[in-house]
Structure 1
Amino acid sequence: MRVALKAYAALLLVQGALWSNPAHADWRDDIGTFRIGIVAEPGAGNTVPGLARLTDAYTKALGMKVEFVVARDYAVLIEAQANARIEYAIYSATAYATASQRCGCIEPLVAPVDFDGAIGIRSVLLTRDGKLPDLAAMESHRIAMAPSDSVGGSLLPLAALTAEGRKIADNAPFLVHAESAAAAETMLLDGKADGLFGWVTAAGDGQPEASGIQASGTRASGPQASGTQARLEAAGLSATALQVVWTSGLLRYGPHAVRSDLDPEAKRRLTVFLTNLKSMTPDIYDLLESKHSGGFAVVAPKDYEMAAAVVRLVSGSGPGQ
């Protein structure tokens, strides 16, 4: 009986090896070298600070050879992932949405969070001293906007309003595109505009807004204000004089995305590595993500619906969702 039990135990060990080890080896063997695409900062050429340390960290996380591919811009990065020349890419929100529209073959894993819990931005329509009573009154007032290529101050509000069924042309007579976001803010400060499209950092739906501002103009409890509101206050405008007439949906910070056909074990390893990176090895996190210091959180395609709406607006491919 004891011999039979030993034989059965040995058989289980052999079967376990057959079921687990080759499966783990196969996806690594199939890939060969795991390639990560990243866009260099403007003026940095094809160099990325700390690239050797980042490569080593990913190599240990995946247990295989890793290579970083530095692209000159997001268009190059998108084509590389769509054509399976890289398995993983670090995108802006709109670049990810463009890539998703391009091939439908990628999915987001994680996205960064700010130190105060903000996970993205929202566009806001601000007025002062109640000069603009509501959204419906826009056409009879002068509304300042940032330049037409500004995501938070122009593209996001137009895309979000379109998604709500309020399509507004970029050249509508009541909209005034200033030369810069600062110039648009000055128009509101100087009384040359009754409203202003700007942006605020924000937490997720159902969470306290990181912008810290409420429709009444009073400051909400929660993270410190950031964005257009903070600049207006710094310029001398009282917080009680500001009112939020309208707020857009959330434009999430850009994700780290992988090809959808990547092995689930690789996705799992990457997700565990990235979501623990800030607490386990903060120096490596800072190399990978220098703009948002709160760590990485898991994301899903639905988190980028507003980014997709912006891309559709720019490409003219249809109404926003």
Structure 2
Amino acid sequence: MPVRARIDEKTDGIHMARALKASAAVMTILGASWSNPARADWRDDIGTFRAGIVADPGAGGTVPGLALLTDAYTKALGMKVEFVVARDYAALIEAQADARVDYAVYSAMAYATASERCDCVEPLVAPVDSDGAIGIRSVLLTRDGKVPDLAAMEGHRVAMAPPDSVGGSLLPLAGLAAEGVKVAENASFLTHASSAAAAETMLVDGEADAMFGWVPAVADGQPAVPGGTVARLEVAGLSKAALQVVWTSGLLRYGPHAVRSDLDPEAKRRLTVFLTNLKSMAPDVYDLLESKHSGGFAVAGPKDYAMAAAMVRFVSGNGR
């Protein structure tokens, strides 16, 4: 047998083994849930379960591993599943609002926009980082106590990341507005840096007395985890003792997997069982579904996206 043929045969065998392993893991996840008989006709009511997902940028409208994902969801629900690949979040939101998809994988703001659009969606689960972070919070950081509180901001130089920075610009402005503190994007005391890193440099070099940044957020009762702007400033040479957090925003949780509110409760239950066990039981499938946050999925609820909703209202002008 030619060497190339042997290599291809071995590669195909590896892929097949992974697929069979993932399929077996999905069956194991659902074994307990299938032991409880449910109403027999809920699958007939749905017909074909349609899951919506946004295409990867530059991928030509495709999603890697779509066949394996479809197989996993088919086994999870015990019915026919089709994935609908949307060109962007706007198209995905319209598809779910119009009941053309039952389930969608969203960013936080895309979910909040969908909820504002039709009030017909609800989150099931959201990803978690390996260190336990479930999202981010914006913070106002000062150096050596130069800005003691929010009321003192106007008398100091405050660095801010560019407007397209979620944690360093949009989240703090929307978070403050939600608390009744109106700060205009063009306020005289704000200095918009060319990047988040440039804003950090301004604080390190003494060109700003404070700056807006972000920190990882954990669930209530869990120990804080390092990272974000504070960690970057410490690496840049500022001591932890020199930094003070003047203000902290509400939680911006990582984007959820959301279903239509009118989806049958048994389908919601099976999806929740499947997704919350996916990382441990079928890591290959999990990695296809969630490439940014490696800690698995945890149950999420509408209240987790209050801050995302405030950001959507702020962008639309309703929260200013």
TM bin, normalised by shorter chain, reads 0.7 to 0.9
| 1:252 counterpart = 2:260 | no
* Correspondence for 1:221: none
TM-score by length of 2: 0.86
Per-residue deviation at 1:266? 0.4
- 1:257-290 CA-partner distances (Å, limit 9, x unpaired): 0000100110000000001111111121111111
* Correspondence for 2:46: 31
Q: Structure 2 residue aligned with 1:208, among 223, 245, 258?
A: 223
Q: Which moved more, 1:164-173 or 1:97-106?
A: 164-173
Q: Report 1:43-122 matches (<5 A).
A: 43-122=58-137
Q: Structure 2 residue aligned with 1:185, among 193, 196, 200?
A: 200
Counterpart CA distance in 2 for 1:298 and 1:208 is 19
Per-residue deviation at 1:193? 0.7
Query: Could you say what secondary structure the match of 2:212 adopts?
Result: strand
| 1:264 counterpart = 2:279 | no
- 1:191-213 CA-partner distances (Å, limit 9, x unpaired): 11111100011102343222xxx
Counterpart CA distance in 1 for 2:155 and 2:180 is 19
Counterpart CA distance in 2 for 1:191 and 1:301 is 41
Structure 1 stretches of at least 4 aligned residues deviating more than 6 Å after TM superposition: none
TM-score by length of 1: 0.86
* Correspondence for 2:170: 155
Per-residue deviation at 1:234? 2.0
Q: Which AA in structure 2 matches 1:284?
A: V
**Percent identical:** 81
Q: Report 1:302-313 matches (<5 A).
A: 302-313=303-314
- 1:39-72 CA-partner distances (Å, limit 9, x unpaired): 1222122121211111110000001111111111
Counterpart CA distance in 2 for 1:139 and 1:284 is 50
Per-residue deviation at 1:92? 0.6
Per-residue deviation at 1:141? 0.4
Counterpart CA distance in 2 for 1:41 and 1:179 is 27
Per-residue deviation at 1:32? 1.9
Larger radius of gyration: 1
* Correspondence for 2:14: none
| 1:40 counterpart = 2:55 | yes
Query: Could you say what secondary structure the match of 2:159 adopts?
Result: strand
CA contact (8 A) 1:45 1:72 kept: no
Query: Could you say what secondary structure the match of 1:119 adopts?
Result: strand
| 1:174 counterpart = 2:189 | yes
| 1:194 counterpart = 2:209 | yes
Counterpart CA distance in 1 for 2:109 and 2:316 is 12
CA contact (8 A) 2:193 2:199 kept: yes
Per-residue deviation at 1:238? 2.0
Query: Could you say what secondary structure the match of 1:110 adopts?
Result: strand
* Correspondence for 1:218: none
Counterpart CA distance in 2 for 1:85 and 1:169 is 39
Count residues with an aligned counterpart. 284
CA contact (8 A) 1:127 1:244 kept: yes
* Correspondence for 2:140: 125
CA RMSD of aligned residues (A): 1.3
Q: Which AA in structure 2 matches 1:229?
A: V
